Structure 1
Amino acid sequence: MFIAEWATGVAVSYRQIKQLGGSGDRGVDVAAFKTDDGLEGAWDCFQAKHYVGSLTWSDAFPEMLKLFHGVVDAFYCLPDRYVFVSPRGCGQTLNRLLSKPTELRRRFLEQLDAGGAATRLYDGRSLQSIRDLADSSDFSIFQSLEFNEMLDVHRKTPYYADRFGASLPARPAVGQTPTALAPDEAIYLKKLVDVYKEQDPVSGADAHEIASHAKYGPHLQRQREAFYSAEALRLYARDSVPDGTFELLQEDVHTGVIDTAEANHASGLDRLRAVLTQSGQLDLGAHALISVSKLQDRQGICHQLANGGRLTWVAVNE
C-alpha cells in the first residue's frame, strides 16, 4: 500500500496505479500504468521486498527471471522501469550491478545458463525464450529506490500525514467570495431565497435580488462565504489527505444535524439557524481535517449538503 501511495507523488503522470501483489502476481507488486492499455502498454513495475537485511543478487535474480517469463508468456509487456523497493535498500554488489546495465545483463545470462533452484521452475523452451529476450533487452530498466528517497516523495502526497501521524500542511487562505453567483450554487441559494421569502414575500424573487436587500443581503453573503470556505476545505483535502476524508466529514456533519433539521420549527429561518448552531457544537475531534477547519467550514458544509439535496430549510408543511 505504501508503494501505491508513493507512486501517486512521483513526477510521472500515471493513468492508474494498481496494487497487484499476492498469489499469481507474476512478479508485480504495484503496477503504474502510463496509458489506458494497462499491462499491454507503457507501464512501470515496483517490486517490494520486506526483508530484514539489504537486497542481494540472489534476491533479485529470481524476480528478474519471473519478469522475463511474464513477458514471454504474454502476461504483460516489458515495463519501462522495474524498481526494487526495500526498507534496507540494496546491498553493495546489487547496487553496483544496477548501476551498470551491461554488466547486469551479463550476470543475469551467466546465472541463467548456470541453472539453479530459480530456473527449475521453468521448462527448457521457456528458459530459451527468456534468454533470447534478456539478451536483447535494455537492463537499465532495472533500478532501485532507497527508503529515504521514497519518503521525500511520499511527504508530498495526500497520504503522508495519515500514515505517519504528521501535521497537515498549512491551509491556504480561502480568498474572496466571488461576486457573481455561480451555477453550482443554484440549489442552496434557492433554498435560502425560500427562507427569506417566507419571512417577507416581497423581499426578492431570486438570489440576485436578495443580494441587494438591506436586511437579507448581508445574511445571504455570510452564507455564501461559509459555502466557499467549505469548498476551499474540500479542495485542500483533495491534495492533502486520502480520498474520501472530506466526504467522511460531510457525512458526520449530516448525521449530527439531521435530527435538528427534521424537528418542528416555527419557520425555515429558525430551522436554518438551529442547524447552523448545531453544526458548531458537534464533536468532530477525531477527523483528520479538524486541525485545519473552522466554524465557518461546518456551516458551509451544511450549505453543501443543502446543495446536494440532503438538507432543506423551508418544509413543505410550513
Structure 2
Amino acid sequence: MVGFCSDQRHDGDWDNYQCKQYRGKLGTADGLLAVAKVLYWASQGEFTNPRSFIFVAPKGLNSNLLKLINKPASFRSELISKWDGSCAKKIVDNLTIPLAGEVLDAINNFEFSKITYVDVDEILDDSASKPLLFELFGTDPGDYPRGTVPVDVQEHEMVYMNALLGAYNERELGSFTCHQDVFDHSEHGDDLRVHRSRYYEAEGFQKFYRDNTSPETIAEFRRGIRFGIYDTLKAVAKDELARVHATMSQAANLQPSGPLAQYAYIPVKQGLCHHLINDGEITWKGSK
C-alpha cells in the first residue's frame, strides 16, 4: 500500500506500507525480501526511494527482525550479507539480481532508520480504523465527548438562533432586537442558554459518530428524531415558543433504535431539533 505525500506521487515523497496477512509473526527473511523488492525497483527508476517503510503486521514481527528495525545500520548490513541467499532470486521471476551498481547504491542511499512497524494494537487504537471496525464487526464506538458551548454565538448557529429569536419575539410582541436582548431577559435568558447547550451537545454527538461510525448511521438517527417530532410540530400551538417547548418535551421522550441508542441522551435528542432547523428540515412555524 502506498501513501503519496503530494501530487507528484512516485516522483515525490511517498510512504510504503507493507501489508500482508501472515499466519504467524513476520520473519526476518520475509522482511528483508520486502525491503529488497522496493529498493530494487527504486534503483530501476520505477519510483524514488520511499520516505518511510512501514511493516503492517497484525501478528507482529519476530524478535530478530525487531532487533534489526531498532538497529538501522545492522538492518543494512544484514540485507547486504543475506542478499544472495534471501533476495537475489526472489525479486524477479527467473532472474538473479546481483548486488551491484544502482541496486547497491539504492541500498546505501536509503535511510534504514525510516523502517518501522505497526502491530494489531496500534491498528485497533487508530481512530481512522473505527468506522471500518464498526461496519465489519459492529464494534461499539464508545461514548462521545461532551460539547462545549462558546461564549459568543457562532456564525453556524445563526439559523436556529434566529428561529428562536422569532419565537421569543412572537411571545413578547417584538421586544427583542438581537440574541443578547433575549439572554438579558429574566425569563427567557436561561431558556435560550439551555437551547444552545442542547445544540452543542448534539453537535459533539454528530461529529464523533460521523467520524467513528458512518454518515449513514447519523443520517438514520436524525431521520428517527425528525419523524418522532413530526406530529408535535404539526399540532396546534398558541405560538411558536409553545411549539418549541412541546417539541423539546417530545424529543426528550423519544426512544431511538440502532447502534447509537445507548448514547442518545436527552440533550442530544433535543439539540438535534435545532440542527434540523439549521438544515431547513423543520420549522417552528405551524398551525395555531
Name the TM-score class by shorter chain.
Answer: 0.7 to 0.9
Whether the 8 Å CA contact 1:188–1:307 is kept in 2: the answer is yes
Q: Which residue of 2 aligns with 1:52?
A: 23
Whether the 8 Å CA contact 1:43–1:80 is kept in 2: the answer is yes
Residues 227-255 of structure 1 show CA distances to partners (whole Å, capped at 9, x for unaligned) of 2332344565578x356488447633554
Give me the TM-score of the superposition, normalised by structure 1: 0.68
Whether the 8 Å CA contact 2:141–2:209 is kept in 1: the answer is no
Q: Which residue of 2 aligns with 1:307?
A: 278
- The structure whose residues are more often helix, as a share, is 2
Q: Distance in 2 between matches of 1:258 and 1:166?
A: 27
Change (3 A) 1:314 1:123: farther
Q: Distance in 2 between matches of 1:30 and 1:261?
A: 53
Change (3 A) 1:121 1:250: farther
Whether the 8 Å CA contact 1:256–1:278 is kept in 2: the answer is no
Q: 1:90 aligns with which of 39, 47, 61?
A: 61
Q: Distance in 2 between matches of 1:199 and 1:247?
A: 34
Number of residue pairs matched by the alignment: 281
SS of equivalent residue, structure 2 residue 48 = coil
SS of equivalent residue, structure 1 residue 205 = coil
Q: Which moved more, 1:205-214 or 1:79-88?
A: 205-214
User: Cα distance, 1:122 vs. partner?
Assistant: 6.2
Whether the 8 Å CA contact 1:56–1:90 is kept in 2: the answer is yes
Change (3 A) 1:46 1:207: same
Q: Which residue of 2 aligns with 1:80?
A: 51
Whether the 8 Å CA contact 2:210–2:218 is kept in 1: the answer is no
Give me the TM-score of the superposition, normalised by structure 2: 0.74
SS of equivalent residue, structure 2 residue 282 = coil
Amino acid at match of 1:286: G
Whether the 8 Å CA contact 2:144–2:208 is kept in 1: the answer is no
User: Cα distance, 1:295 vs. partner?
Assistant: 0.5
Q: Distance in 2 between matches of 1:156 and 1:62?
A: 28
Amino acid at match of 2:203: E
The answer to whether the aligner puts 1:181 opposite 2:153 as a matched pair is: yes
Whether the 8 Å CA contact 1:234–1:246 is kept in 2: the answer is no
The answer to whether the aligner puts 1:273 opposite 2:245 as a matched pair is: yes
Q: Distance in 1 between matches of 2:74 and 2:174?
A: 85
Whether the 8 Å CA contact 1:81–1:142 is kept in 2: the answer is yes
Change (3 A) 1:242 1:159: farther
Whether the 8 Å CA contact 2:144–2:204 is kept in 1: the answer is no
Q: 1:231 aligns with which of 168, 183, 203?
A: 203
Amino acid at match of 1:191: A
Q: Percent identity?
A: 21
Q: Which residue of 2 aligns with 1:192?
A: 164
Q: Distance in 2 between matches of 1:245 and 1:134?
A: 47
Q: Distance in 2 between matches of 1:123 and 1:226?
A: 68
Whether the 8 Å CA contact 2:221–2:256 is kept in 1: the answer is no
SS of equivalent residue, structure 1 residue 119 = coil
User: Cα distance, 1:192 vs. partner?
Assistant: 1.3
| RMSD of aligned residue pairs (Cα, Å) | 3.9
User: Cα distance, 1:185 vs. partner?
Assistant: 2.2
Q: Distance in 1 between matches of 2:151 and 2:77?
A: 68
Unaligned runs of 5+ in 1: 1-28
SS of equivalent residue, structure 1 residue 102 = helix
The answer to whether the aligner puts 1:205 opposite 2:177 as a matched pair is: yes
Amino acid at match of 2:266: L
Unaligned runs of 5+ in 2: none
Q: Which moved more, 1:44-53 or 1:247-256?
A: 247-256
The answer to whether the aligner puts 1:295 opposite 2:266 as a matched pair is: yes
Q: Which residue of 2 aligns with 1:131?
A: 104
The answer to whether the aligner puts 1:168 opposite 2:142 as a matched pair is: yes
Q: 1:157 aligns with which of 122, 127, 139?
A: 127
User: Cα distance, 1:128 vs. partner?
Assistant: 5.3
SS of equivalent residue, structure 1 residue 287 = coil
Q: Distance in 1 between matches of 2:11 and 2:225?
A: 44
Whether the 8 Å CA contact 1:84–1:144 is kept in 2: the answer is yes
The answer to whether the aligner puts 1:260 opposite 2:231 as a matched pair is: yes
Q: Which moved more, 1:264-273 or 1:187-196?
A: 264-273
Q: Distance in 1 between matches of 2:222 and 2:99?
A: 54
Q: Distance in 2 between matches of 1:171 and 1:37?
A: 38
